[in-house]
Structure 1
Amino acid sequence: MLEVHEIVAFKTVGLTKSKTMQALVTDPELKLILQQDAAMSSKHLYELRALLTESQAAVQDMNLSL
């Protein structure tokens, strides 16, 4: 579970950096790459959040059955 949290932290930093750099970049090609990276990072974070939610629900179910 800790590894997933570390991935979430890493992805969050990357997303923040891409979003911040978009405002500073003037090259249209680089801006597009940063936009794509931000969109992909957002998608990954959404998927990781769903995975964590499912995992936590499974742990709670296991604890209730004990």
Structure 2
Amino acid sequence: MNYALHEVLEVHEMAAFKTTCLTKSKTMKALVTDQLLKDIMQQDIDVSTRQLQEYASILSNAKQ
């Protein structure tokens, strides 16, 4: 699919932000002692990972 340059740049920006959030969640999860909070953080990690895979798919299709 053909995407406009600004669309590709926006996906790049979202991927960069999501990568930062994922890194923070993974790092902070190791410091948390409350199990409920750890579970919430793990859910965030799982969702963020899936979203980054989707962004990667969009970006790989945009280059074709």
TM class by shorter-chain length? 0.7 to 0.9
Q: Secondary structure at the match of 1:24?
A: coil
Q: Supply the distance in 1 between the matched residues of 2:39 and 2:11 (Cα, whole angstroms).
A: 28
In structure 2, stretches of 5+ residues that fail to align are 1-7
Q: Which has the higher helix share?
A: 1
Percent of residue pairs identical: 54
Q: Supply the distance in 2 between the matched residues of 1:21 and 1:32 (Cα, whole angstroms).
A: 12
TM-score computed with the length of structure 2 as normaliser: 0.87
In structure 1, stretches of 5+ residues that fail to align are 58-66
Q: Supply the distance in 1 between the matched residues of 2:39 and 2:9 (Cα, whole angstroms).
A: 33
Give the 4+ runs in structure 1 shifted more than 4 A.
none
Q: Supply the distance in 1 between the matched residues of 2:28 and 2:40 (Cα, whole angstroms).
A: 11
**How many residue pairs get matched?**
57
Q: What is the Cα-based RMSD across aligned positions, in Å?
A: 0.4
TM-score computed with the length of structure 1 as normaliser: 0.84
Structure number with greater Rg is 1
Q: Supply the distance in 2 between the matched residues of 1:47 and 1:4 (Cα, whole angstroms).
A: 10
